[in-house]
Amino acid sequence: MSTAPSNAVRGPSPLRRLPDHKLLLGLFLPMQQGAWSPSRAPRSTSWTFDYIARCTMMAEELGFDLTFGLAQWLGKGGYGGAMRFREHEVDPIIANAALAAMTKRIVLINTVHVLYGWHPLHLAKFGAAMDHISGGRWGINIVTGYKPSEYRMFGLEPIEHDRRYIMADEFTTIMERLWSEDEELTFDGRFWKTERAFLAPKPGERRPFLVNAASSPAGLDYAAKHSDLIFITSPTGADPTQARGSLPAHIAKIKALTRSYGREVKTIINPHVICRSTEREARAAYDAILEHQDPVAADNFVQTFQSGDTASWRGHTRAQWVIGGNVHLVGSPEQIVDWFVQLHAAGCDGVQVNFFDYLPDLAFFGHEVLPLMREAGLRNT
Ligand SMILES: Cc1cc2nc3c(=O)[nH]c(=O)nc-3n(C[C@H](O)[C@H](O)[C@H](O)COP(=O)(O)O)c2cc1C
């Protein structure tokens, strides 16, 4: 295990800038064509910037704490099928720069694959700019890329799993030093070098949120050392009853590791929420997504996760992949809030929800579920 940079180097934790709710609430944005579900059941969900902006502004209005935009690099047709699943995506860092100017309060997080040709000075500069544009509301989900095809798109050879996190550690250390140190930085690393590199303006007190979504020992060691938020997945797949059993040990391990570095971290899971006035209606909506699945897109989607070296998303069945997301919460507003209470009791500090038909589902959630979350003490306002 390597040692964490001191707080003097890192600057104060941005976690204190998050509102003080018992359960953090985020929206997993539908950045890509089809969002999470390789299904052609009718819906409004769209990858267009206009749609993403409407989701973000509605989430802010409803009092959500954060939004998240994932990033992937896919070939022509995306995951394929008639729906060309996930083919289109507006780059999330560019989208967030625009969204930062359109919003006032919500934290905007997006993924960057730091090993695809970036230099830490580039991302430090972009991050400082995002931090200033957003007024301290930007966060970066640092990922190392688990798809060999993505590396090859950049003319690179895939990198062995644990080595990727050693590289990410060096990358992040340089970026953090550029954000926090007042002197020019000359750094002779194993993977990156700088000579008299300097950054002005810096984010300073408002260091961007650092986020990671690892599950493997090497990934979690990186995350414990650098991240403020860790996106977690259920080690036992999408069934929330099983997740409730497996999450406490998984989260306790993450928290203990983080404490060993003298750091604090919050864990967030991303449930797929299918909520209707009654459980029966919600189950019917769930079944409709499955019935309308695009079999080619679904096969290719499942294949990616089963063939890669990612330690997350391991327990999902094919049918669960057609719904998408992590744990599946299906039911009435009361049942959804009950599951949130149980996920919190299992150690989750937050949920980052995804939906099938985003705008109407989000509006329904705001109207029917959020008031019950307040009643249950999960949210203050
Ligand atoms: C909520 C969540 C969001 C993620 N977003 C992305 C993403 O946008 N792009 C990506 O390439 N990987 C993404 N990942 C994958 C992780 O970065 C990581 O590769 C994966 O969880 C496997 O963990 P491991 O690297 O420790 O084996 C995400 C994972 C989770 C749980």
C-alpha dist (Å) from residue 73 to 79, 86, 150, 186, 354: 11, 10, 6, 32, 21
CATH number at residue 76: 3.20.20.30
User: Is 93 a domain residue?
Assistant: yes
- Over the stretch 193-248, which tens digit does the pLDDT of each residue have? 999 999 999 996 778 999 999 999 999 999 999 999 999 999 988 999 999 999 99
Distance of CA 335 to the CA centre of its chain: 24
Q: Which atom of ligand 1 is nearest to the CA of 218?
A: 26
- Over the stretch 129-147, which tens digit does the pLDDT of each residue have? 999 999 999 999 999 999 9
pLDDT of 347 > 90? The answer is yes
Q: What pLDDT does residue 381 have? A: 82
Q: What pLDDT does residue 8 have? A: 43
Pocket of ligand 1 (CB under 6 A): 70-72, 111, 141, 143, 145-146, 213-216, 219, 231, 233, 270, 310-312
Q: What pLDDT does residue 358 have? A: 98
Domain total of the chain: 1
Taking CA atoms only, the protein residue closest to ligand 1 atom 22 is: 310
User: Is 64 a domain residue?
Assistant: yes
pLDDT of 4 > 70? The answer is no
**pLDDT confidence band for 339 (50 / 70 / 90):** very high
- Cα–ligand 1 centroid distance for 375 (angstroms): 33
- Cα–ligand 1 centroid distance for 367 (angstroms): 31
User: Is 221 a domain residue?
Assistant: yes
User: Is 42 a domain residue?
Assistant: yes
Taking CA atoms only, the protein residue closest to ligand 1 atom 14 is: 213
Residue 49 tokens, joined: 């910037």
- Cα–ligand 1 centroid distance for 257 (angstroms): 19
At residue 264's C-alpha, the angle toward residues 338 and 18, to 5°, is 60
User: Is 381 a domain residue?
Assistant: no
Q: What pLDDT does residue 266 have? A: 97
User: Is 1 a domain residue?
Assistant: no
Nearest one of 236, 215, 203 to 133, comparing CA atoms: 203
**pLDDT confidence band for 2 (50 / 70 / 90):** very low
**pLDDT confidence band for 3 (50 / 70 / 90):** low
Average pLDDT over residues 290-295: 97
Taking CA atoms only, the protein residue closest to ligand 1 atom 11 is: 145
pLDDT of 310 > 80? The answer is no
Q: Indicate whether this model's pTM tops 0.85.
A: yes
Q: Which atom of ligand 1 is nearest to the CA of 92?
A: 8
Of the chain, the percentage scoring pLDDT greater than 70 comes to 94
User: Is 79 a domain residue?
Assistant: yes
Of 106 and 310, the structure prediction assigns the larger pLDDT to 106
Output phi, psi for 26, to 5 deg.
Answer: -125, 165
Q: What pLDDT does residue 304 have? A: 82
What is the span of the domain harbouring residue 327? 7-375
User: Is 2 a domain residue?
Assistant: no
